[in-house]
Amino acid sequence: MKFIKSISIVMLAAVGMSFTTAAELDLLIRNATVHTATADAVTPLKNTDVLVQSGRITAIGKNLQAPAGVRTVDAAGRAVTPGIFGGLSRVGLEEIGLERTTGDHSHRLGQMRPEFDVTMAFNPESMSLGIHRSNGVTFTVLTPGSVSGGSLVAGLGAPTSLDGTLPGSNRAMFIDIGGDANDLSGGSRAAQFMLLRQAVVEARAPNLVMVHDERLLTPSGRQVLLDYLRGAGPIVFDVDRAVDIRRTLDLIKEEKIRGVIRGGAEAWRVAKDIAAAGVPVIIDPLDNLPDSFDALGARLTNAARLRAAGVNVAFSMRSPGVYEAGKVRQAAGNAVTHGLPWHDGLAAITRIPAEIFGVADRFGSIAVGRPADLVLWSGDPLDVTSLPQLVVANGKLQSLESRHSALRDRYFERLKNGTAR
């Protein structure tokens, strides 16, 4: 066992110590390789400085001067990226997967309740937030699920910072299409489209007189669905089979919805249609097995093919498990290994998801005037060999300590003493 004497890590830890209580961050990161992830950014900015004042990025350039009192960190050429997206997740909505009293991500009301707003369950003090922050994940989309006893219209979720604050006003609606939702639609995916169209009719004609038993939606559900049909936020369709994606695109077009495809295991097979519809796609780039009869065409080149067809691609793990939010960066690296350009791989876990969910002014790119939400990496940001050395989320410097590191430190000490028993 060799112990590294890492000056840079020690130094950064010290910076972290001195800044954790600061309300507004002032910091000059010098001599970094800056991946801004802005729409025009294909090559990184080398030997570049980033100045953060009062939590906002005030300058990006070479040889910037640190204003008086502003702490400087020498990146020594290492990479700086925007904070990483944790995907469509249950972070703060579920503490322990199998323990129902700790899981609030999905309702089992047996009714279609588009007004179910899962953000009302978000716990910003879940231990998972600190773990993800320490690994460079600064934002996620709180996502309701469609579970047995619930509805194929899962409800509303929201993008949120993992800095411990509550979500802002942006919301998105989530709908599940396909064989895995057959139990929620009387046994047929045809009924999923039938039920959705019925719900649309109810929402668009709020004064329609119906006896109670015929209604799918509550009055507030009708209003919320109507808002989304009018563009209040994106509607995210979880759909995998190629022909189901086409039918979903038809629905999106007919109803003039801000539609998003997620899942998309076979999306590459209809990439041209998706591109023509201008609909973004959120996929798990590790999907390559025919896990179901909706995903017989799953393959590792999905992301590369979609992007080549002109589709805006973002990444999320398929599994909503809380820990999976930390794996999105690895998934992006794998997509690059299988043909996606590197800058598109980074955009898929930074700018593109921020744009899809309407928070590109806060997350997903490094630009003057934006709140600082960025990470300094030990190496290639998309490689599993790299970890953050400095994390800024929502304008605040984040500690690299977490419940995980506390457990690590306790038992590493015991191991050194030969008492881990």
Partner 1 sequence: MLNQILKHPLRLVTVVTAFTALTACATTDAGTRSVNTTKAPLASPATINATAYPSTYAPPTVAPLLIRGATILTGTGARLEETDLLIREGKIVAIGRALEAPAEAVVIDARGKWVTPGIIDVHSHLGVYASPGVDAHSDGNEATAPATPQVWAEHSIWPQDPGFEAALEAGVTTLHVLPGSANLFGGRSVTVKNVPSTTYQGMKFPDAPHGLKMACGENPKRVYGNRRTLPSTRMGNVAGWRAQWIEAQEYMREQQNYERRSAAAEKNPALRPPKRDLRLETLAGVLRGEINIQHHCYRADEMAIVLDMAKEFGYKVTAFHHATEAYKISNLLAENNVCAAVWADWWGFKMESYDAIPENMVLVDAAPGGCAIVHSDSSEGIQRLNQEAAKGMAYAERMGVAIAPEHAIKWLTSNAAKALSVDSRTGSIETGKMADVVIWSGNPFSVYALAETVLIDGVTRFERSARHATPQSDFLLGQPAAMEVLP
Cβ closest to partner 1, residue 199 vs residue 295: 295
Binding of partner 1 by 97 (CB under 8 A): yes
Among 74, 227, 291, 401, binds partner 1 (CB under 8 A): 291
Instruction: Please name the helix (run of DSSP H) or strand (run of DSSP E) that holds residue 15, with its range, or none.
Output: helix 7-19
Site pattern 366..385 for partner 1 (x: CB under 8 A): ------------x---xxxx
**Residue 88 · residue 412 · CB < 8 Å:** no
At closest approach, how far in Å is the CB of 387 from partner 1?
A: 5
Cβ closest to partner 1, residue 107 vs residue 327: 327
Torsion angle of the four alpha carbons 45, 51, 52, 54, in this order, in degrees rounded to the nearest 10? -150
Cβ closest to partner 1, residue 56 vs residue 404: 404
Query: What's the one-letter identity of residue 416?
Result: K
Binding of partner 1 by 14 (CB under 8 A): no
Binding of partner 1 by 183 (CB under 8 A): no
Binding of partner 1 by 288 (CB under 8 A): yes
Closest CA to 203 of 229, 226, 224, 219: 226
Cβ closest to partner 1, residue 4 vs residue 211: 4
Among 7, 21, 63, 99, binds partner 1 (CB under 8 A): 99
Among 171, 327, 362, 396, binds partner 1 (CB under 8 A): 327
Among 69, 187, 369, 418, binds partner 1 (CB under 8 A): 418
Binding of partner 1 by 107 (CB under 8 A): no
At closest approach, how far in Å is the CB of 269 from partner 1?
A: 5
d(CA 363, CA 258): 20
d(CA 416, CA 418): 6
Could you give the 3-state DSSP secondary structure of residue 90?
coil
Binding of partner 1 by 143 (CB under 8 A): no
Cβ closest to partner 1, residue 210 vs residue 384: 384
> Which among 16-24, 208-216, 222-230, 329-337 is the span making contact with partner 1, rule CB under 8 A?
329-337
User: What are the backbone dihedrals phi and psi of residue 73, each rounded to the nearest 5 degrees, phi first?
Assistant: -120, 130
Name the burial class of residue 202, with classes exposed (0-12), middle (13-18) and buried (19+) by CB atoms within 10 angstroms of its CB.
Answer: buried
Q: Which residues contact 195 (CB under 8 A, 6 or more apart)?
A: 112, 152, 185, 216
Number of residues in contact with partner 1, rule: CB under 8 A?
58
Sheet holding 84-89, edge to edge: 84-89, 137-142, 153-161, 172-176, 235-239, 259-263, 281-283, 313-315
Cβ closest to partner 1, residue 48 vs residue 386: 386
> Which among 40-48, 62-70, 215-223, 413-421 is the span making contact with partner 1, rule CB under 8 A?
413-421
Binding of partner 1 by 290 (CB under 8 A): yes
At closest approach, how far in Å is the CB of 88 from partner 1?
A: 17
Write out the DSSP string of 178-239: SGGGGGGTTT-HHHHHHHHHHHHHHHH-TT----GGG-SS-HHHHHHHHHHHTTSS-EEEEE
Binding of partner 1 by 69 (CB under 8 A): no
**Residue 373 · residue 82 · CB < 8 Å:** yes
Among 22, 39, 210, 289, binds partner 1 (CB under 8 A): 289
Cβ closest to partner 1, residue 63 vs residue 101: 101
**Residue 359 · residue 168 · CB < 8 Å:** yes
d(CA 159, CA 121): 14
At closest approach, how far in Å is the CB of 394 from partner 1?
A: 23
User: Which chain residues interact with partner 1 by CB under 8 A?
Assistant: 1-6, 9, 95-99, 128, 131, 241-243, 266, 269-270, 286, 288-293, 295-297, 321-323, 326-327, 330, 333-334, 336-337, 378, 382-387, 404, 407-408, 411-412, 414-415, 418-421
